Amino acid sequence: MAAITLTVNGKSRTVNTDPTTPLLYVLRDDLELNGPRFGCGLSQCGACTVILNGAAVRSCTLPVSGAQGKSITTLEGLGSVAHPHVLQKAFVEEQAAQCGFCMNGIIMNAKVLLDKNSNPSVADIKQALANVLCRCGSHLRVIRAIQRAAREKA
Amino acid sequence: MRDTTISRRELLKGTGALVISFSLLSPLSRAFAQGAGATNLEPEATSLDSWLAVAADGTVTVSTSKVDLGTGVVTALSQIVAEELDVPFHSIHMETGDTAQTIDQAATVGSATIARGGPQLRQAAAAARQELLKLASAKLQAPVEKLTVSDGVVTVAGDATKKTSYAELIGGKRFNVKITATGTGGGMKVAPEVIAKDPKNYKIVGTSAPRVDLPPKFTGEFIYTADVRVPGMLHGRVVRPATVNTKPTSVDESSIKNIAGVVKVVQEGNFVGVVAQTEWAAIQAAKALKVTWSAPEHKYPSTKEEVFDYLKNTKSARDQAVVSRGDSDAAISQGGKTFEATYHWPFQLHGMLGPSCSVADVQANAATIWAGSQGTFNTRRQVASLLGMPEKSVRVIYREGAGCYGRLSPDDVPLDAALMSRAVGKPVRVQWMRDDEHGWEPKGPAQLLSVRAAVDGGGKVAAWEFVDRSFPWTENGNPLLAARQVGHDATSTGNGNGNGGGGQIYRFDNQKVVASMIPWVWPDPMPLRTSNLRAPGDVARCFASESALDEIAALLRVDPVAFRLRYLADQRIIDVLNAAAKQARWNARPSPGTASGGSKVTGRGVAVANRDETMTAAIAGVEVDRASGKITVQRVTLAQDCGLIVNPDGVKNQIEGNVIQGVSRALLEEVKFDASGIKTLDWVSYPILHFPDVPEIDVVLVDRKDLPPNGSGEPSLVPVPAAIANAVFDATGVRLREVPMTPERVLAALKAGPQSSELLPRV
């Protein structure tokens, strides 16, 4: 066990944990952040995605020690129902989900995409989400929501 | 965020009054608590108060055992209740799936929630409205006939100053009114004598009300099953063998002694699990724990060929004649020409994106379970049976899981959690790992489907014989894994292989459609255990029957749409087929089309289906790369008639999802296995459709305001694989009779060439 200090959604948080613990479990169980989700534990589905120093990373396989000193943003860090991020708002407007379990991965990857490319094409969006899985089949709505967010952000 | 729905100690002692702080009460209790005070009496269907409550602020809390599985159905139910009560849609709060707070209206299965649960809630709301108008009549001293209601405000016609509101009339108080409720579950008739609103006056039903569950799902504020945390909770993981009911001959606890935080290795019968202080410790320990399993007592199928041989050669347990008209045997032996083909459908996964998860808190005489079960009352029965408790001592609280498409009926993991919680005397959260879920979820079963048809001299289909040989949709008796492992047969939640068939939507003079249920002979559940997978059975049946019909149309050189219209009997299917053809600008001509010289060829295909009286027609446009064998589905047009549409955007959302899942299942999905177990244990070995391969989707809604609303969660998946297979034929001239239509199979089919260019002469 070790004391590990993380910067999560702009705040400094210290947890006492096994440093090999994947970041996901620290975020969920120690910090009670439900945005990042366990889908596979294998970096295959994307449900656990967080933004680490501007890059989308899969927190289910990243040891928490590797996140020390870096800026971590989770879905909660984007916004809330009361004060939604432009992406979250666009997803509501497009009704872009069914069960919503994959939405963390989709929105976090979309955030990184829009930060780099303010006007992505459909092909850009599909490429950015190529390895994020959605089982319910909300893909087309997701694409529309990201396009809407890009428009409204502009 | 902690889940504080229940204060377990107080509620579950079962003695004395409830002492729960206000914030811990559920909305229904909260509504009552403002008035007459909460009780923990079991709800009764004949009490109006069991169905809904009006709070002092006018909020209407509705209790239902129907749950949202991520399809948005609870939003639609809210619309139905708001409509009937004449209250704003946003004033409805749904309390779903809590066995202590709801009436058992049957599990959320089979696209039946709107069709069967909807009328139950509508009638309860109509009964409440009737009661509220009685109260208003007394208060305003005006006859009921003179009262109008808008947004929960009752006004005397012609005198706008005379008014009151539902909140003033009953807010925070019980109705204390008995209503009629006869029958049980989905068949329960609730207040049937109360006259409900005429659908032509609907203002809320029929609109695309935004889903109530979505905003917090985009922010991390939504509480899924996996997010439930209760004080003192530990983490558990299961350790499963390759085939269940092999025995752990040795469990070497020293193998995990270096992992800090392990609380207990739980072994009960053949069940093995690990409980730890932290999730990571539990994961590591479950992985590292050295367990030696005995060899399986039975030899399980080691290839899919063995499974299909088994389906072909095993005596069926039940033959259900879905259609039996004329004498198809005689007609086929006398017919001019005959057609015969066999189609294969593989085992497929539900593939929940989030694996099974549950939290259990088992005390000496009572238990609380948080679960994503489709039927929380089924789960309650199964947990109570396993623990040897009366059902009333077990409370199952619903929290939504990942979309499950039939997988959480049955829901295995609450039993795992209950066993582990009982063993450590503390609440335990158990989440399956990805390989647990891929390996042990009960799967959509393989199907072997065969068609024989005869065509007379005039090119008319004179006989049609369709036989589906398949496993029960739910494993025989449907025991849950942990129950089997501890030697306890949990209560059956049913089995069967459905009552659908192939080609029964067409009318042929001689027609025989049979569903033959082939049982597994092994006494133990195996990794190829089964359960209902979205539109169970019908997807494969439609794939076979609509492919066969297409093959016959092609052999007769008739346009596939025109050919279907010759034999369709139901005007509603005819209408959806025409609607889809119009929208897709169907180019009438026989298949196959004329392939261009290049590597990439395109084609279009059609299929139609009737799934429990929801009608669908799919037209797929595909591109096939003859060099690589890859099929790209470019566009799917899907027309659907599900009766009166409660929420058009909700229905569209379901259709889009079904089309995408249908494409995925048609092109990519197959569970692979050998005798030692499942080999496709992750998303790489069992791929699903990724973003770049998702087709454009064009939805056509055929709204039938003259019909009652019917289900929409499953039906539009049914025709999709068949439409794709028919489009591939149209593009290439070769026929794929086995799913998934992988590049390897496409290349093999192209190499083999067209199956035959003519109907077989009678021999």
The string of pLDDT tens digits covering residues B120-145 is 999 999 999 999 999 999 999 999 99
Residue B647 Cα, gap to closest chain A Cα (Å): 12
Residue B62: the pLDDT is 97
Rounded CA separation B41/B100 (Å): 8
Q: pLDDT at residue B301 above 90?
A: no
CB of A62 closer than 8 Å to CB of A49: no
DSSP H or E segment with residue B121: helix B118-140
Show which of B401, B431, B461 is a domain's final residue: B431
Residue A52: the pLDDT is 98
Q: pLDDT at residue B19 above 80?
A: no
**Contact across the interface for B690 and A133, Cβ inside 8 Å:** yes
**Among A45, A78, A92, beta carbon nearest to B353:** A45
Q: What value of ipTM does the predicted structure carry?
A: 0.99
DSSP H or E segment with residue B220: none
Interface test with chain A among B75, B213, B217, B228, by most A beta carbons within 10 Å? B217
Q: pLDDT at residue B30 above 50?
A: no
Are residues B287 and B323 both part of a single domain? no
B176 domain-assigned: yes
Residue B589: the pLDDT is 98
Residue B525: the pLDDT is 65
B253 domain-assigned: yes
Residue B706 Cα, gap to closest chain A Cα (Å): 28
- What is the Cα B238 distance to its own chain's centre? 25
Tokens of A94: 């497009």
Interface contacts (A, B; CB < 8 Å): 184
Residue A69: the pLDDT is 93
Nearest to B359, CA basis, from B274, B269, B236 = B236
Rounded CA separation B644/B122 (Å): 14
B642 domain-assigned: yes
Residue A37 Cα, gap to closest chain B Cα (Å): 8
Across the range A55-69, mean pLDDT stands at 97
Q: pLDDT at residue B582 above 60?
A: yes
**Contact across the interface for B433 and A41, Cβ inside 8 Å:** yes
Q: Lowest mean pLDDT: which of B84-98, B101-115, B213-227?
A: B101-115
Residues of A in contact with B694 (CB under 8 A): 126, 137, 139-140
B528 domain-assigned: no
Are residues B455 and B473 both part of a single domain? yes
Q: pLDDT at residue B37 above 60?
A: no
Are residues B670 and B563 both part of a single domain? yes
Please enumerate, as own/partner, the contacts of B261-268 that have beta carbons within 8 Å and a separation of 24 or more. Answer: B263/B234, B263/B424, B264/B423, B264/B424, B265/B289, B266/B236, B266/B419, B266/B420, B266/B423, B266/B424, B268/B419, B268/B423, B268/B485, B268/B486
Q: Give per-residue burial for B465-492: e unless 16+ CB within 10 Å, then b.
A: bbbbbbbbbbbbebbbbbbbbbebebee
Q: pLDDT at residue A152 above 60?
A: yes
Q: What is the pLDDT of residues B523-545, one digit of tens each?
A: 666 778 888 899 999 999 999 99
Which of residues B707 and B494 earns the better pLDDT score?
B707
Interface test with chain B among A38, A44, A60, A135, by most B beta carbons within 10 Å? A135
pTM score, two decimals?
A: 0.94
Q: pLDDT at residue B18 above 60?
A: no
Are residues B620 and B591 both part of a single domain? yes
Are residues B129 and B180 both part of a single domain? yes
Are residues B249 and B389 both part of a single domain? yes
Residue B42: the pLDDT is 79
Residue B494: the pLDDT is 43
B260 domain-assigned: yes
Are residues B215 and B230 both part of a single domain? no
Residue B658 Cα, gap to closest chain A Cα (Å): 7
Q: Which residue of B has its CA nearest to A84?
A: B219
Q: pLDDT at residue B5 above 50?
A: no
Residues of A in contact with B356 (CB under 8 A): none
Residues of A in contact with B401 (CB under 8 A): 99, 101
Which of residues B634 and B503 earns the better pLDDT score?
B634
Across the range A12-41, mean pLDDT stands at 98
Q: pLDDT at residue B442 above 70?
A: yes
With an 8 Å Cβ cutoff, is B598 touching chain A? no
Range of the domain at B318: 304-345+444-517
Q: pLDDT at residue B653 above 60?
A: yes
Residue whose structure tokens are 């068939």: B501
Residue B345: the pLDDT is 97
Q: pLDDT at residue B489 above 80?
A: no
Tokens of B761: 């002469």
Across the range B183-206, mean pLDDT stands at 96
Show which of B396, B431, B466 is a domain's final residue: B431
With an 8 Å Cβ cutoff, is B210 touching chain A? yes
Helix A139-153 vs helix A86-93: angle between axes, to the nearest 10 degrees?
130
Residues of A in contact with B659 (CB under 8 A): 137
Q: pLDDT at residue B449 above 80?
A: yes
Are residues B325 and B290 both part of a single domain? no
Across the range B41-50, mean pLDDT stands at 91
User: What average pLDDT does the structure give for chain B?
Assistant: 91
Q: Which residue of B has its CA nearest to A130?
A: B691
Are residues B475 and B618 both part of a single domain? no
Residues of B in contact with A25 (CB under 8 A): 278-280
Are residues B373 and B285 both part of a single domain? yes
Across the range A35-59, mean pLDDT stands at 98
Residue B528: the pLDDT is 86
Residue B475: the pLDDT is 65
Residue B527: the pLDDT is 79
Contacts of B544 (CB under 8 A, 6+ apart): B341, B343, B345, B447, B449, B450, B451, B466, B468, B502, B722, B737
**Contact across the interface for B224 and A81, Cβ inside 8 Å:** no
Q: What is the pLDDT of residues B347-366, one digit of tens each?
A: 999 999 999 999 999 999 99
Q: How many CB atoms lie within 10 A of CB B431?
A: 26
Which of residues B749 and B758 earns the better pLDDT score?
B749
Q: pLDDT at residue B619 above 50?
A: yes
Domain count, chain B: 4
CB of B73 closer than 8 Å to CB of B108: yes
Show which of B431, B460, B480 is a domain's final residue: B431
Rounded CA separation A66/A59 (Å): 10
Residue A131: the pLDDT is 97
Rounded CA separation B49/B124 (Å): 10
Across the range B464-485, mean pLDDT stands at 83
Most confident of B11-15, B39-43, B597-601: B597-601
Q: Residue B340's domain is classified under what CATH number?
A: 3.30.365
Residue A125: the pLDDT is 98
Residue B300: the pLDDT is 82
CA atoms within 13 A on the CB side of B685: 14
Residue B41: the pLDDT is 63
Which of residues A46 and B110 earns the better pLDDT score?
A46
Across the range B57-74, mean pLDDT stands at 96
Distances (CA, A) of B749 to A1, A38, B729: 58, 40, 10
Rounded CA separation B253/B274 (Å): 10
**Contact across the interface for B70 and A136, Cβ inside 8 Å:** yes
Across the range B604-630, mean pLDDT stands at 97
Q: pLDDT at residue B14 above 60?
A: no
B7 domain-assigned: no
Residue B529: the pLDDT is 85
- φ, ψ for residue B302, nearest 5 deg: -110, -5
**Among A38, A91, A98, beta carbon nearest to B403:** A98
Q: Residue B189's domain is classified under what CATH number?
A: 3.30.365.10
Q: pLDDT at residue B112 above 90?
A: no
Residue B520: the pLDDT is 77
Are residues B269 and B368 both part of a single domain? yes
CB of B107 closer than 8 Å to CB of B150: no
With an 8 Å Cβ cutoff, is B656 touching chain A? yes
**Among A84, A101, A139, beta carbon nearest to B691:** A139
Q: Lowest mean pLDDT: which of B23-32, B283-292, B530-539?
A: B23-32
**Among A18, A38, A79, beta carbon nearest to B226:** A38
Rounded CA separation B713/B67 (Å): 13
Contacts of B558 (CB under 8 A, 6+ apart): B459, B590
**Among B215, B401, B691, beta carbon nearest to A129:** B691
With an 8 Å Cβ cutoff, is A126 touching chain B? yes
Are residues B206 and B158 both part of a single domain? yes
Residues of A in contact with B210 (CB under 8 A): 92, 95
Q: pLDDT at residue B312 above 80?
A: yes
Tokens of A52: 């680490």
Residues of B in contact with A139 (CB under 8 A): 660, 691, 694
Q: What is the pLDDT of residues B374-402, one digit of tens each?
A: 999 999 999 999 999 999 999 999 999 99
Q: pLDDT at residue B649 above 70?
A: yes
Order of strands, sheet of B60-64, starting from the edge strand that comes earlier in the sequence: B52-54, B60-64, B92-96
Q: pLDDT at residue B491 above 80?
A: no
Per-residue pLDDT band at B501 (split at 50, 70, 90): confident
Q: Lowest mean pLDDT: which of A80-89, B8-17, B439-448, B537-546?
A: B8-17
